[in-house]
Chains A and B, each alone.
Chain A
Amino acid sequence: MKLPRNTEELVAKCLKGQAKAQRALYDKYINAMYNTVMRYTCNSHDTEDVLQIAFSKVFRKLKTFDPGKGTLKAWIRRICVTTAIDFLRKRSIQFASLDSVQLTVRDDFRIDQHMEIEYIMEYIESLNPQQRAIFNMYVIEGYSHGEIGDILGIGADSSRVYLSRAKKNLRRKIDHFRLQYKTI
Chain B
Amino acid sequence: MNDLQHKFDNRAVEFDRDVLWERIEKPKPPSPWWKWRILLLLLLLAGGGAIHYYNGNNSQQLAKDVENDPIVKTTHVSNSQRLIQDKERITEHKEKNVSSESSMFQKSSSFSSSKEKETGDKSTRPESSITVKDEYTSILPNIPTKLSGITAEQSLRGVGSTSYIDGLRSFRAFDVGSTSYSFDKEEKNTKQPSLKSASRSEKKIQDEGILKTGIPTEYEFIASEVERIPLKITFLDQTEKRLPEFVRIESSNKQIDPVPTMLHQAHRIHIQGGYGWHNNIFGDSTSLRDKNMVKPYIGFNGTFTYEYQFPKIGVYTSLQYAAYQDNLKNVTVNVITGQGNVLASEYIQITDYDLYNNYRYLGLIIGLKKEWRKGNWGFSGAAGFGINVYAYNEGKLFNEEESIVNFGYSGSQINLRSLFGELEGGLRYYLPSGFYGHTSLTYQSPKHIHIELNDYEQKISTLFINMGIGKAF
Chain A contact residues, CB within 8 Å of chain B: 16-19, 22-23, 26-27, 30-32, 34-36, 38-39, 44, 47-48, 51-52, 55-56, 59-60, 111, 113, 117, 120-121, 139-142
In angstroms, Cα B7 to Cα A59, docked, is 26
From B21-29, B127-135, B359-367, the one touching the partner chain is B21-29
- Asked whether any CB of chain A lies closer than 8 Å to the CB of B3, the reply is yes
With contacts A17-B27, A52-B23, A56-B25 taken as known, whether A27 is within 8 angstroms of B3 at the C-beta atoms is no
In angstroms, Cα B20 to Cα A30, docked, is 10
**Is A35 a contact partner of B24 (Cβ separation < 8 A)?**
no
In angstroms, Cα B11 to Cα A113, docked, is 14
**Is A17 a contact partner of B28 (Cβ separation < 8 A)?**
yes
With contacts A55-B24, A142-B2 taken as known, whether A39 is within 8 angstroms of B17 at the C-beta atoms is no
- Asked whether any CB of chain A lies closer than 8 Å to the CB of B211, the reply is no
Q: A32-B8, A34-B15, A52-B20 are in contact. List 11 more A-B contacts (CB 8 A).
A: A17-B27, A17-B30, A18-B29, A22-B26, A31-B13, A51-B20, A59-B25, A117-B11, A140-B2, A140-B4, A140-B8
Residues of A within 8 A of B13 (CB): 31, 34-35, 38
With contacts A30-B17, A35-B13, A51-B20 taken as known, whether A59 is within 8 angstroms of B26 at the C-beta atoms is yes
**Is B11 a contact partner of A35 (Cβ separation < 8 A)?**
yes
Closest to A18 in B: B29
In angstroms, Cα B28 to Cα A59, docked, is 10
In angstroms, Cα B5 to Cα A44, docked, is 19
Could you list 20 examples of A-B contacts with CB < 8 Å?
A17-B27, A17-B28, A17-B30, A18-B29, A27-B17, A31-B10, A32-B8, A34-B13, A34-B15, A35-B8, A39-B8, A51-B24, A52-B20, A52-B23, A59-B26, A113-B4, A120-B4, A139-B4, A140-B4, A142-B5
A110 to chain B, nearest CB (A): 10
In angstroms, Cα B23 to Cα A55, docked, is 10
**Is B1 a contact partner of A142 (Cβ separation < 8 A)?**
yes
B235 to chain A, nearest CB (A): 46
Interface size, chain B (Cβ < 8 Å): 23
- Asked whether any CB of chain A lies closer than 8 Å to the CB of B101, the reply is no
Residues of B within 8 A of A23 (CB): 21
Closest to B25 in A: A56
- Asked whether any CB of chain A lies closer than 8 Å to the CB of B245, the reply is no
Chain B contact residues, CB within 8 Å of chain A: 1-5, 7-11, 13, 15, 17, 20-21, 23-30
**Is A140 a contact partner of B5 (Cβ separation < 8 A)?**
yes
Closest to B5 in A: A140
In angstroms, Cα B3 to Cα A92, docked, is 32
**Is A35 a contact partner of B9 (Cβ separation < 8 A)?**
yes
A128 to chain B, nearest CB (A): 20
With contacts A27-B17, A38-B13, A48-B20 taken as known, whether A60 is within 8 angstroms of B4 at the C-beta atoms is no
Residues of B within 8 A of A141 (CB): 5
**Is B9 a contact partner of A31 (Cβ separation < 8 A)?**
yes
In angstroms, Cα B5 to Cα A39, docked, is 11
In angstroms, Cα B15 to Cα A32, docked, is 13
**Is A17 a contact partner of B29 (Cβ separation < 8 A)?**
yes
In angstroms, Cα B3 to Cα A45, docked, is 27
Residues of A within 8 A of B28 (CB): 17
| Most chain A C-beta atoms within 10 Å of own C-beta, residue among B1, B2, B17, B26 | B26
Residues of A within 8 A of B2 (CB): 140, 142
Closest to A116 in B: B7
Residues of B within 8 A of A121 (CB): 8, 11
Closest to B28 in A: A17
Which of these, A19, A55, A113, A117, contacts B8 with CB under 8 Å? A117
Residues of B within 8 A of A30 (CB): 17, 20
In angstroms, Cα B27 to Cα A56, docked, is 9
B58 to chain A, nearest CB (A): 48
Which of these, A39, A44, A117, contacts B15 with CB under 8 Å? A44
In angstroms, Cα B2 to Cα A113, docked, is 10
Residues of B within 8 A of A18 (CB): 29
In angstroms, Cα B29 to Cα A16, docked, is 6
In angstroms, Cα B20 to Cα A99, docked, is 41
B465 to chain A, nearest CB (A): 40
B12 to chain A, nearest CB (A): 8
In angstroms, Cα B208 to Cα A42, docked, is 119
B345 to chain A, nearest CB (A): 88
With contacts A44-B15, A111-B4, A140-B4 taken as known, whether A19 is within 8 angstroms of B26 at the C-beta atoms is yes
In angstroms, Cα B39 to Cα A97, docked, is 57
Residues of B within 8 A of A38 (CB): 13
Closest to A44 in B: B15
Closest to B16 in A: A48
In angstroms, Cα B2 to Cα A44, docked, is 24
Residues of A within 8 A of B26 (CB): 19, 22, 56, 59
In angstroms, Cα B13 to Cα A48, docked, is 12
**Is B24 a contact partner of A26 (Cβ separation < 8 A)?**
yes
B30 to chain A, nearest CB (A): 6
Residues of B within 8 A of A51 (CB): 20, 24
In angstroms, Cα B10 to Cα A66, docked, is 25
